[in-house]
Structure 1
Amino acid sequence: MGLKGAISHKTLTRSWHYVQRRSYSATAMSAWQVHEYGGLDQLSLSTTARAATIKHPTEMLIKVHAASINPLDIRMMGGYGRSLLNVIRKQRGTLNYGTEFPLTLGRDFSGIVVEVGRRVSKFKVGDEVWGAIGAFRPGTHAEYTVTSQCEISKKPSNLTHVEAGSVPYVAATTWAAIKTVGQLDHTKVYGQRILVLAGSGGIGTFAIQLAKAWGMHVTTTCSTDAVELAVSLGADEVVDYTQTNVWSELQHKEKFEFILDPLGGEVTDKAAKFLSPWKNSKLVTLNFPLLKNSDEMGVLPGLVKSAISAGFVTLKGIQSGGSIRWAAFNPNGDALEKVKRLVEDGKIRPVVYKVYPFSEAQSAYKTVFEGHLRGKVVLDFKPA
């Protein structure tokens, strides 16, 4: 057998090992990418981007129908997380020619399965699915994306792709904070008090609904123009930070068994004072410093500094009468399956702030960059 024949045989064998069904064959796709870290001016549309391909037998290829834009995408555009993520990308073989560029952003999606790996057992070609993929993977602001079956679930039957595309990232992040790290048991939290800071953003609008679906008493903070939205999502009490000092107002309320803090920094220290003296009360902040520390100091020193910081955070929690913990986005298909049921039962609804066509992604990114959102910004991949 000649060299050409040997290569062809090896390629065919490898494809058969990974792929069970194939309904997709393309060498290029359209994707919004950055070729170096920077601001919004670095984002450009490529119509010849390298096609997404299955590399492991538990992976699937998804044709994306809608995807949201998250603040994390803006931060990653500027290089956030590059040091540690490139280590993971190298280990998983997702670097292109030794570099992360061109980098496709986007973490969550709603779409249709077009190809499945040989070991995929939960899904088949043609399934409508939603999910949020790991930050080491090429992103979802592209015609196709690759994910594993542990990162996704079936899409709720009562949502459009645009509605569904707004949920998975905030759902997985909130679940990591409240359930995985916060260890709330939905069967035992009825009537407990939770404070959700920044209740009108993507995380906040989802967290209010999840906590309310579990029977908790929900207090949240937002500005005047979002009070009606927060109440409609189930908030029992709303503190309008444009009309009063949040911390002074909270002094007149009962303390909380749980506080969700998407903001971090000084906010965490101030909020911790409102934890209930009950021994299992917790504050979970999403201002996780590991990626930032790794970028600034290198991976190993960043890990050490983060570990030391965790000790100080734990001490502050003890002084406040509860515990303070960090959480971060983590793909979780099982959590999305549970959220799917809540959505289909009418207990959680998507909160979409604005929808842009895929071709207008630059405008959509600008909207997220400017902030003060009331829900999620979504890209609709449907041709105009």
Structure 2
Amino acid sequence: MSFTPEGSHAMDRPSATLDASRLPVTFADVEAARPLVSAAVVRTPVLRAPRLSQLTGADVYVKYENVQTTASFKERGAVARLVQLTPDEARRGVIAMSAGNHAQALAYHGTRLGISTTIVMPETTPQVKVLATEAYGAHVLLHGEGVAEAGLKAREIAGAERRVFVHPYDDPFVIAGQGSLALEMIEDAPLLDCVLVPVGGGGLISGMALAFKARSPETQVIGVEAALYPAVWSALTGTARPSGGPTLAEGIAVRDTGALTLPIIRALVSDVMLVEESALERAVNALLTLQKTLAEGAGAAGLAALLTEPERFRGRKVGLVLSGGSIDPRVLAAILMRELERDQRVVSFRLTLVDRPGTLGRITTLLGRMGANILEVHHRRTFLDVPAKGTRLDLTMETRDQTHAQEIEAALTAEGFQVQRLGAGGAEW
């Protein structure tokens, strides 16, 4: 699902004449922020991704922001804002609300610059991000179910303690700092047909759109939101969609658009796409297994869009911003297992059979002969729908692919066993 500006086509929007001075942030601001950012953050690589290109049909180039010290592009905006503080403001310290990456970036660079930082994070923030933020030197307070509630608390504390509130995206210095990422892509990658950018509140895509419009107007900037949090998409289309729910992309789980970012997005962004949770899972898995690089859900949103609409981008040079790599290890483990199940490389069967000596041995011998690796066995006799002299056996095993799984099922059936395929969690297919 995507947004197409009125009177244009998503992939063929012509360059428009724009009075840049009417926007709340300009390309001149991005240029002014760049040397400040470059002095403090990593110039991350842009590399062609042959395996992702083969997977999607596009010619894919990845900007690896997950190799920043805090594993996210957020360092750019944090630095750009912190160095603008007056000496009095720096003494009083800063405060922000964040789901994780802005928090870590502000904490790391605040500590580096000798500036006290307090971060209010939603109670649903992954523990790995909370611990990392504290490790970088910030005082962390958990409050609310989402960024909006955390933001209200942060502003309350800012007033009481006279701290400077640093917004994660709706701040002109932050937006300008994020634009440095696009300038590096323009210089380090070939001319791109389009770039797919994760969108939460819109700080990153606003800064990048300003840079691309000025330096590479042929490149279309396309935003990607989690379908559960379609704030920008809804604002652009005028279509209200429900917003909320548990998402893998908590870094872009934002319910409200920015007052500064939305006008820039309206003027300069070609399209905004929505991606489902399953696509985000596939993207995280593909980046790890094919590119050998770690991405959180929000960081993988660009690839999720490419996987969602491959025909739209086929044969085109596409830039992806891998914007963050802070993912909970438990969530990553679950994603990898779920992808193995989707690919039918891990399958489960339920067998109802006569309870007699040697039956289990027959089954395991058959599976071993066919090259299946047994992962789990549950052997139960107490179900009322199983005959008194029978038993139920649930087997989870590793297979080569879908064809191999079908061959195993056929072989078990041929041996006289009653076989049911099970999905994740034991549900019948």
Q: What TM-score, normalized to structure 1?
A: 0.30
Indicate the structure with greater helix content. Answer: 2
Structure with the larger RCO, 1 or 2 (CA within 8 Å, 6+ apart): 1
Indicate the structure with greater strand content. Answer: 1
The structure with more radius of gyration: 2
Q: What TM-score, normalized to structure 2?
A: 0.27
